[in-house]
Amino acid sequence: MPDTAATQIRRALEKLPATCRYHGDNTQPDRPGWGREACCDTGIPAQRRKLAEAALDQLVNELAAQPDTCGASMYALGGDPVGPCILRASHDGPVHQDATGAKWWPHTDPALILGS
């Protein structure tokens, strides 16, 4: 998620109250599973904000942890997997390369398969 998208979502969440007028920071329902979403009706927006902020933080962290690599892979002639490609995500050439240095092309020449 681009930083600007996360910033926009955070700005929207900041419009919601962060605490309940009556219960302060304790917006958890006192009896979970009894149909209550928050401490009381006044605390619902604050509880939703907390849950949304936690989900946004998790999403941003997961996206930041993803490698910025191509990730392409394929099966070799013997059926062994080759890949994933470690080159940058939008590399220009048709050649892929894995961590061991093996290189492959996305389209195999039929003459190579048939041994001609």
What per-residue confidence (pLDDT) applies to 3? 64
What per-residue confidence (pLDDT) applies to 24? 95
Q: What is d(CA 109, CA 90) in angstroms, rounded to the nearest whole number?
A: 23
Residues above pLDDT 70, as percent of the chain: 84
With cut-offs at 50, 70 and 90, classify the pLDDT of residue 114. Answer: very low
What per-residue confidence (pLDDT) applies to 26? 94
Averaged pLDDT score across all residues of the chain: 81
The answer, yes or no, to whether residue 5 has pLDDT greater than 70, is yes
What per-residue confidence (pLDDT) applies to 116? 41
Q: Which of 113, 80, 86 is nearest to 99 (CA)?
A: 86
Task: List beta partners, residue 20.
Answer: 24
What per-residue confidence (pLDDT) applies to 108? 55
pLDDT by residue (tens digit) across 55-64?
999 998 887 7
pTM over 0.95: no
Task: List beta partners, residue 65.
Answer: none
Both structure tokens of 21: 């007028």
**Contacts for 73 with CB less than 8 Å, ≥ 6 apart:** 81, 82, 83, 84, 85, 98
pLDDT by residue (tens digit) across 13-36?
999 999 999 999 999 998 877 889
Both structure tokens of 23: 């219960």
